[in-house]
């Protein structure tokens, strides 16, 4: 016996295409940007998976990460090249990358800063798992002023608008580093609140005044500014945890947050 549907066309659409589209709208967010962690997968992978699996994937991802190595130019972008992971190759979106570079007063063409930096690389396999054919614009942030980070956000948005490109911008960042669980959670809640309020100035203020060791706060500041320029409509904290949730050691943890900045579909 084949049990046929009796409420198709009433409780849910009767055609496969309409049904898939309806479910897609319910389970996937139209996102302009994400905050996603970049630690070893055993520690932060569940957060990255939770946030990336929630969004509608675009053809291009601008991924901004902090410079942990100190190599290369302080504010660097790669406009050409291929990134390789065990899941395959990711091509650079050279047209958009070059437009961002031409628009920016601060970013410089540089491959050295990217060679041994992990903050962008660890995002790629998760994206490849859900969408094998996307393109990448990689940007690495070293030390600069908050004003510079905000200006870079505006420059990225300007280039995206100019090319009418559909993108998702990822700020790759872990949160508080190596503090007791209660301290890390308290500090991280302050930074997360500023991001959820799309308040880049408050994020800068809290990172400085509270001593929040959020390694990717600079990319997060640029993300907030760019997202607002591109029409952000809301935010959501998808998942937060610490390394202690994996190791059972809560004496010195690292925090991880997965945040969606909603909007897009221009």
Residue 266 has pLDDT above 50, yes or no: no
* CATH number where 65 lies: 3.40.830.10
14 falls within a domain = no
- Go through 73-101 and write b for each residue having 16 or more CB atoms within 10 A of its CB, e for each that does not: bbbbbbbeeebeeeeeebebbeebbbbbb
Residue 26: its pLDDT value, please? Answer: 86
What is the total count of domains within the chain?
1
Handedness of CA 123, 221, 54, 62 (dihedral sign): negative
pLDDT band at 172 (very low <50, low <70, confident <90, very high): very high
1 falls within a domain = no
pLDDT in tens, 191-226: 999 999 999 999 999 999 999 999 999 999 999 999
240 falls within a domain = yes
pLDDT band at 265 (very low <50, low <70, confident <90, very high): low
243 falls within a domain = yes
pLDDT in tens, 92-132: 999 999 999 999 999 999 999 999 999 999 999 999 999 99
125 falls within a domain = yes
192 falls within a domain = yes
Q: What are phi and psi of 154, to 5 degrees?
A: -65, -40
Q: What distance in Å separates the CA atoms of residue 103 and residue 47, rounded to the nearest whole number?
A: 33
pLDDT in tens, 61-89: 999 999 999 999 999 999 999 999 999 99
Helices 200-210 and 181-196, packing angle to 10 deg: 160
20 falls within a domain = no
- What percentage of the chain carries pLDDT values higher than 90? 95
Q: Domain range holding 175?
A: 30-262
55 falls within a domain = yes
pLDDT in tens, 23-54: 988 889 999 999 999 999 999 999 999 999 99
pLDDT in tens, 225-260: 999 999 999 999 999 999 999 999 999 999 999 999
Tokens for 211? 């001593």
């Amino acid at each position: 016996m084949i049990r046929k549907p009796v409420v198709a066309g009433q409780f849910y659409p009767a055609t496969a295409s309409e049904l898939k589209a309806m479910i897609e709208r319910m389970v996937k967010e139209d996102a302009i940007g994400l905050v996603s962690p970049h630690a070893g997968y055993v520690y932060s992978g569940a957060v990255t998976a939770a946030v990336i699996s929630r969004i509608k994937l675009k053809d291009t991802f601008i991924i901004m990460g902090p410079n942990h190595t100190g190599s290369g130019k302080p504010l660097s972008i790669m406009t050409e090249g291929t990134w390789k992971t065990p899941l395959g190759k990711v091509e650079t979106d050279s047209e958009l990358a070059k437009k961002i570079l031409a628009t920016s007063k601060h970013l410089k063409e540089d491959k050295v800063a990217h060679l041994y930096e992990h903050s962008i690389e660890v995002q790629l396999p998760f994206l490849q798992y859900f969408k094998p054919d996307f393109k990448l614009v990689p940007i690495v942030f070293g030390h600069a002023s908050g004003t510079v980070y905000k200006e870079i956000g505006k420059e990225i948005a300007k280039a995206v608008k100019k090319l009418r490109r559909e993108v998702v911008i990822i700020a790759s960042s872990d949160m508080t580093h190596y503090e007791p669980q209660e301290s890390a959670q308290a500090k991280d809640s302050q930074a997360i609140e500023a991001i959820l309020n799309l308040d880049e100035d408050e994020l800068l203020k809290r990172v400085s005044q509270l001593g929040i060791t959020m390694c990717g706060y600079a990319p997060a500041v640029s993300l907030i500014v760019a997202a607002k320029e591109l029409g952000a409509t809301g935010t959501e904290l998808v998942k937060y945890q610490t390394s202690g949730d994996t190791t059972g050691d809560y004496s010195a943890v690292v925090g991880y947050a997965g945040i969606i900045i909603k909007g897009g579909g221009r």
